[in-house]
Chain A
């Protein structure tokens, strides 16, 4: 796909994404379509493991444009998201100037060559046939002040650097925000965004995805693993396994020569899907036969 504007409908986007090995349901495809074409930031919510991040990756791959990712965390601030001055390099320049007996202008220390671009600025400055896909991951983990800052940046598509002035986006990035809903986002940010809630895929759909992403697995194994993952997801897991874990599980099973996911096969391979000790114990209590659907 050469130009974002060539995507004419959500249906077409579904077909194009399938070529990039990503199966999108109509709701998600419509959301991505609007994010690209309106254009407007898109907020994706859903439980862990439903493929929120993967959706952004697939879109970037389809448009042959960089995926620029900003992982949010508690206490993240503008310098980590936007830009920083390269302090060591500035110091080095001063020392060099001193050793050569030259004086150095302060303004030359605050020029572009000393600016470290962080994800938001990188996304704004991207030049290409298509805008960059900017993934702002787990925005609910950042605090509200950072959210307000993000909101302004998204609204204006400009960034103000006091020493350099205002930097304006070459082209507005395609912005995808994800939230695991650990807290409510601010109304102002939500108003700005398109919205889609990604459900965990149906068993049928999950099986299709596993088959597509682990093509060497047998049909039976793909089905068994998809079913086992959906059973595990009904338990109160710290980290419920998602589609990515289902794919890992299938690959691990094949590697270990497990061709059928029965109770024994489950016991042998469960470590590849459940990473936390508490989750593994919870699964063991339920029984491997139960997970295998026996």
Chain B
């Protein structure tokens, strides 16, 4: 993995997960970045599952995983920034649609679908700037 913005995001996200007790290795963060490049996610739940299958290795860690994912990506992976209209910012919840985490109550976890946009936006300077601004993300 080089120093591209995508690499930085994946490495930092992995680092945060590690700090929350999820045994993420640099190798796994590389896998996450590769998966993003391959699948080109356009929606938050797509990004969520790419992150989960590459970075989580035990279902017992899923609550911590969901918490960190929300802290990092909620509101950041928001394409309103790039459409030039921020009139309908998508409210996001921690667990995306599709499958529920075990132990999550029913009827929770629907995520509003974000309009499809290319993945480059994940590594858009605005996103990077927003991430850098989040204390949770860069606190040593």
- Contact across chains for A27 and B53 when beta carbons are under 8 A apart: yes
Residues of B with C-beta under 8 A to A193? 57
Q: In the complex, what's the smallest C-beta–C-beta distance from A56 to chain B, in angstroms?
A: 15
Task: Tell me which of A27, A42, A187 contacts B52 (CB under 8 A).
Answer: A27
Q: Do the beta carbons of B100 and A199 come within 8 Å of each other?
A: yes
Question: For window 81-139 of chain B, which residues contact chain A by CB distance below 8 Å?
Answer: 96-100, 102
Q: Is A38 engaged at the interface, CB distance under 8 Å to the other chain?
A: yes
Most chain A CB inside 10 Å of its own CB: which residue of B97, B99, B100: B99
Q: Chain A residues near B56 (CB, 8 Å)?
A: 195
Whether a CB of chain A sits under 8 angstroms from the CB of B46 is: yes
In the complex, what residues of A have CB within 8 A of residue B39's CB? Answer: 9-10, 30, 33-34, 37
We find that the number of chain A residues with CB closer than 8 angstroms to chain B is: 26
Interface segment, one of B7-15, B28-36, B66-74? B28-36
The answer on a CB contact under 8 Å between A38 and B34 is yes
Q: Which B19-64 residues have a C-beta within 8 angstroms of A?
A: 23, 25, 27-28, 31, 34-35, 38-40, 45-46, 49-50, 52-54, 56-59, 62
Whether B50 pairs with A30 at a CB distance below 8 angstroms is yes
- Known contacts A9-B39, A194-B54; decide if A27 and B46 are in contact (CB<8 Å): no
Contacts of A25 in B (CB 8 A): 98-99
CB-CB nearest in chain A for B27: A191
- Contact mask A180-193 → B, CB, 8 Å, 1/0? 00000001001101
Q: Encode A1-42 as 1/0 by CB contact (under 8 A) with B.
A: 000000001110000000000000111101101100110101
Contact of B102 among A26, A33, A43, A197 (CB under 8 A): A197
Could you say which of B25, B39, B52 has the most chain A C-beta atoms within 10 Å of its C-beta?
B39
Nearest chain A CB to B32 CB, angstrom units: 10
A26, B53: Cβ atoms closer than 8 Å = no
Chain A CB within 10 A, most for which of B28, B34, B40, B54:
B54
A248 close to chain B: CB less than 8 A: no
For B49, the chain A residues whose CB sits under 8 A away are: 10, 26-27, 30-31
Q: Assess whether A267 is interfacial by the CB under 8 Å rule.
A: no
Given contacts A27-B53, A30-B53, contact A195 B38 (CB under 8 A): no
A118 contacts chain B at the CB level, 8 A cutoff: no
Judge if A196 is at the interface, Cβ distance under 8 Å: yes
Closest to B97 in A: A26
A117: interface (CB < 8 Å): no
A194-B54, A195-B56 known; 20 new pairs, CB 8 Å cut-off, are: A9-B39, A10-B46, A10-B49, A25-B98, A26-B96, A28-B99, A30-B39, A30-B46, A30-B49, A30-B52, A31-B49, A38-B31, A38-B35, A187-B23, A190-B58, A191-B27, A194-B31, A194-B53, A195-B53, A197-B62
Chain A positions within 8 Å of B, measured between CB atoms, are: 9-11, 25-28, 30-31, 33-34, 37-38, 40, 42-43, 45, 187, 190-191, 193-197, 199
Closest 4 CB pairs of A and B: A30-B49, A26-B98, A197-B59, A190-B57
